[in-house]
Amino acid sequence: MPYQSSLNDHQFKVNHQRDRKAIENKRTGPIRLNHQKPEHGKKIALIGWNVSSIEAMEKLNRPFVIVSLPGFEDYAKQHNIPFVGWDFDTKLTYKQVYDRSKELYQTLKEFQCDHAIPAFEETVEWAGALNAYFRNDPKIFDHSILFRDKAMMKRRAHIGGLKVGVFEEVDNKEEVRRFFRRVNDMLLRSRDNNHDPIHVKALNKAGAAGHRMIRSEDDIDKKLSEDNFPCLIESHLDGVEISCEAFIFKGEVKFLNITEYVVFGYSMMVPPIPEIEKYRPLVRKEVEKLVDAFDIKYGIIHPEFFIADDEHLYFGEVAYRIPGGHIFELMQKSYNFNPFEAHILCCDPNTEEEELDKIFPDETSAKGYAGSFLVYPKKKYITDVNIPKELEEHPCFEKHTLFQPAVNKVQDLEGYGNHLGTIFFYGDDSEQVHQQLMNYVDHDFYV
C-alpha cells in the first residue's frame, strides 16, 4: 500500500512544520528571572544561625533579622540580636516549605525585611521561598531548588554546556543495577568484569551525607537499603577534586577562590598547590559558564569540580551558601579579607560597587597557604584529646579546636558526619602545608 504510506509521510511533514512554526516565536530554554532589587533600607533576613555572618552584618551596618531555631532565642535576646524563632522542619517537601514560608514571610514583613539570605544548605529553599514572596514571583523559589535537588542541578548544568557525568534518578535497587550495567556496557567494561564504579548520592543533602560508591553488583545489595531511595546515581568522574567559592555580583564573578580537597572529607587547602592553581583561568571560565547556566546574579556559589587528566573540568555539584570545612576561615587567613562580609555584600543587590572593590583582594596573590584538617572521632566513647607533639611543634601548625569532650558518647554519624574539632595549618610553603594535611588521617586524636 504505497499510497497510504506516502500520505502518512505527508501528514508528518505538515505537523512537524506546524510545530516548528509554533516554537519559532517562543523563547525556549531556561526562563530568566527578573532580579528586582529589594527596597533600599529594608532589612535582610539571615536564615540560619551563623555567628560570623551576624558579626559581618553588624560590622557592615546592614539592618538585619536572624531567623533560626527557637532554642537560640534567649541567647539572641541576651545579646540584643534581632531574632525570629522558626522551626525548620527538615522532613517537609519543597511544596510544603513554600506553603509554610508564607507565615514566616508575613512575620518578616512586619520586621521590615525585604530579602532573605540562607546560611546553611537546609535553609536554601526557605530563603528561596521567602524571596519568592518578597518579589512576588514563585519562580524564585523554584530557582532555589536548583541548588538543592541534585538531579535538577545536574540537568541544568548539562544544558548549560558544562560537562557532567551520566546520571539518573532511581527508586530502587533494580534501577541501580540497570544503570550500573548500562554505564559499564557503554564503557566496554562489562565483558571482563573490570567495572567502573558508580556513585549513589542523596538528592538533597550537603557534603558526603548519603554518598555510597558502588563498585560491583554485589555492592548494590550490600551497601544500599530502602532508606537510600529515591536517590541520584551517576557515573564516576576521575581527577583532582576542587571546590570553588565564587562571589557574584550583578552576574559577574568578583572573586574566585579555589580550594583543594587534599584528603577528601578530611582536609583542604586554600589556595591549592601550584599544579592546580595553574588551571585558574580554566576554572574561572567554567565557573562563569555555571553562573550563566544557573542564572545567578547575586550571592556566592560553592561548586565542586573534578579536573580530569585531559585538563577538562567536570561539574560535580553546586551549593548556594557558605561552604563548610572552615573554607571561609582559610580564605580569611590566606587572602586577608572577611569572606563573611563579602558574602553579605554580594547577596545584597543594593550594595555599591565601591564597597565591593574595597573588600576583595587579588585572587591570584594569596599571602600563604592555609589548610584545615577535620578531626572525627574514631570510636564510640572518648575521654581525652591526644595531639602528637610533632604536629603542634611543626612550623606550619596554627591552632586547633580540639577540646576535651564534654559529652563522651559520640553521636551517630552520617556521611563524614560532624567533625569534633579542626586543626589549622598555615605556611608559605604549599608542600609543607599539603604534607601536614595528609599526615594525620589515621591518627586517633581522641582516646
Partner 1 sequence: MALEVDTSKKAAFEQALEALETAFSYAKNMYQTDVYQTAARIMNEKDGMKFLYKYASRFDEAGIFEGRPWAEPSKLQPRLVKGSLMAGGMTSIVEVLSELRMVAIAKGNHTHEKVSKKDANEFLNKVMALNIDILFPEETEAARIEGKRKEKDRAEHLFQLLADELSLASISGTLIKEIDELVAQRPIMVDRIITMIKNAKQLLNVDINTKEQKAIKQYLDAITGPSRISKELTDLSDYRNKLKELDEKVLKEEAKAFAKSMLKTGLVAPQHVTLVRFLNVNKPKLLTEALGLNKKGEANLEEHFSIVSNLIKVAIHPPMRQSLYGLACMLERGVLSSNPVIPGLQRLIELDLLPEVRKVLLNSIKKGNEGITANDIMLAGVISVFGQPLGVGQGMNPTCQTARGISLWSLHDLGYLLELVARAARDGDIDIMFEGQPIHSMNLRDGLVDNLHEELDPVSLILVPHLDRIYGELVRRAEFRGDDVHKWVNPAFYGDWVSRGFSSTIDPLTGAIADYSGFVRLFYATHHPEYNNGHQIIYPNPVGIFVTDSLADLLGLHAVSIQRVDRDPDGKYRVYFYNPNNDSSQNWGQGIQPAVKGHGEEPGESSLPFHEFVSRLYAFHYNPYEQGDAYAVDNETVQEIEKIARNSWGQKYTWVDL
Q: Which is nearer to partner 1, 52 or 190 (CB)?
A: 52
Cell 576554572 belongs to 283
CB atoms < 10 A from the CB of 41, how many? Answer: 9
Q: What are phi and psi of 159, to 5 degrees?
A: -70, -20
Q: Which is nearer to partner 1, 3 or 403 (CB)?
A: 403
Q: Where in 48-67 is the site for partner 1 (CB under 8 A)?
A: 51-52, 54-55, 58
Query: In angstroms, what is the minimal distance from the CB of 382 to partner 1?
Result: 12
Q: Which is nearer to partner 1, 83 or 306 (CB)?
A: 83
Q: 273 to each of 147, 199, 341, 411, how far by Cα in Å?
A: 28, 27, 26, 35
Query: In angstroms, what is the minimal distance from the CB of 352 to partner 1?
Result: 24
Q: Under the criterion CB under 8 A, does residue 79 sit at the interface with partner 1?
A: yes
Q: Under the criterion CB under 8 A, does residue 6 sit at the interface with partner 1?
A: no
CB atoms < 10 A from the CB of 107, how many? Answer: 16
| Closest CA relative to residue 330, chosen from 359, 285, 370 | 370
Q: Which of 11, 336, 404, 411 binds partner 1 (CB under 8 A)?
A: 404
Q: Which of 46, 76, 104, 382 binds partner 1 (CB under 8 A)?
A: 76
165-191 as b/e: b if 16+ CB within 10 A = bbbbbbeebebbeebbeebbeeeeeee
Q: Which of 44, 47, 81, 198 binds partner 1 (CB under 8 A)?
A: 81
Q: Under the criterion CB under 8 A, does residue 194 sit at the interface with partner 1?
A: no
Instruction: Report the C-alpha gap between 81 and 63 in whole angstroms.
Output: 11
Q: Under the criterion CB under 8 A, does residue 400 sit at the interface with partner 1?
A: yes
Query: In angstroms, what is the minimal distance from the CB of 121 to partner 1?
Result: 21
Q: Which of 34, 112, 401, 408 binds partner 1 (CB under 8 A)?
A: 401
By the 8 A CB rule, do 242 and 283 touch?
A: yes
- Cell for 23? 516554537
Q: Where in 406-435 is the site for partner 1 (CB under 8 A)?
A: none
Q: Which is nearer to partner 1, 106 or 401 (CB)?
A: 401
Q: Under the criterion CB under 8 A, does residue 403 sit at the interface with partner 1?
A: yes
Q: Where in 340-399 is the site for partner 1 (CB under 8 A)?
A: 384-385, 399
**What DSSP assignment string belongs to 376-441?**
---SSB---B---HHHHHSTTEEEE-----SS-BPPP-STT---SEEEEEEES-HHHHHHHHHHTT
Q: What are phi and psi of 91, to 5 degrees?
A: -90, 0
- Cell for 382? 572518648
Q: Which is nearer to partner 1, 217 or 398 (CB)?
A: 398
Report the interface residues with partner 1, using CB under 8 A: 51-52, 54-55, 58, 75-76, 79, 81, 384-385, 399-404
